[in-house]
Chains A and B, each alone.
Chain A
Amino acid sequence: MSNIPADLRYASSHEWARLDADGNVTVGISDHAQEALGDVVFIELPEVGKTLAAGQEAGVVESVKAASDIYAPIGGEVIAVNDSLADSPENVNTDPYGSWFFKLKPSAADELDKLLDADAYKASADA
């Protein structure tokens, strides 16, 4: 059974989003997603400074099995990306919630509320 922390929000496309103390939102992919992908070997991250709409393609995760797009769970400007994933993409498999992909400065404060909570995500991932 995959791990779904209760304090995070989720997109049905399997990204997690965490509201940070400074009001920015950190994004990664869920345990369920990394398990389905298999060993992650390469990650393409968005450019810092780019503004993404909710649901817009933000990057690509390549596993030994396949390439999968990752999407911005909410709209906002990319203010940081996790460069350490370039050298250690396998961290996404071992620590999916510690291995963040990028941070967004949200375009609208309430967008996070539109995402799934842990229970709703669990229901959607099981379906």
Chain B
Amino acid sequence: MTPGIRRTGIEKTMKMVLMISALASVLIVLLIFLFTAKEAMPAFREIGIGKMLSDTTWRPGNNQFGILAMIAGSGLVTLGAVFIGVPLALGTAVFLSEIAPLWVAKIVRPSIELLAGIPSVVYGLFGMVVIVPWVRMIPAPGNTGYGLLSASIVLAVMVLPTIANISEFAVRSVPRGYKEGSMALGATKWETISRVIIPAAKPGIISAVVLGLGRALGETIAMIMVIGNSVILPTPVTSNPLSIFLSRARTLTGNIAVEISYATGVHESALFATGVILFILIMLVNSSARFLMRKGARS
């Protein structure tokens, strides 16, 4: 074999190997979906997907497998986290990209990186010993501190770095010309930020929030440590509708983590079904974020 042929041989082989690695992610996603769906089939067949999605009673011992309460739990806790976390994250993003002097940014940015790196089990622990006792001090019947509010606060801190980083990137990607033009026309810095830069970065900011939503929906360990895990449709505990956040709840992720090790038969399959529904939900959220980002990039 001449060196030339060997070289081309290596080149061809490597190209093939690299292509396979590139497609590995697709294969893994496919494998995960198919495998989870296969394990979920008995539940879908025996219980019925419609019944699972519409029934609020989850009582595996009695063959009742409704996950509506968990969907509501996941939805509400995410909503709460967005409500608390988004203003903070967006403020931080604008602050970092437009306002903060370099030395301040050098403190703020690593702080956010560190928040992103802290393990979720540590957030859960912190939630258990700090946040839950705080929330317990709110006077309301049946308030134990464990519930949506504590979980939302913990989750808000956890998604803050995701939302802040991506929206900072979006704000920075606004062409400098926009800013200079606006300032040249006599606008103040704040007018430029609020009327030119933020509107121009809007698609990126929205997709940052949606991606944060996706992360929030997927969080598991920290949630089971603070949310109380009760399988109930959350309801306000007082006449104030906001007190719904003092209710305990369970997330879709928590349902899987809490029960998978004990489940057999249809119960186990129903947990895989919970996984399939969570998977589809997050796929929808993430692809809408990507769609928004592309739309933003085009316009």
Q: Are A and B part of the same complex?
A: no
Q: Hey, which bits of chain A sit against chain B, CB under 8 A?
A: none
Q: Hey, which bits of chain B sit against chain A, CB under 8 A?
A: none
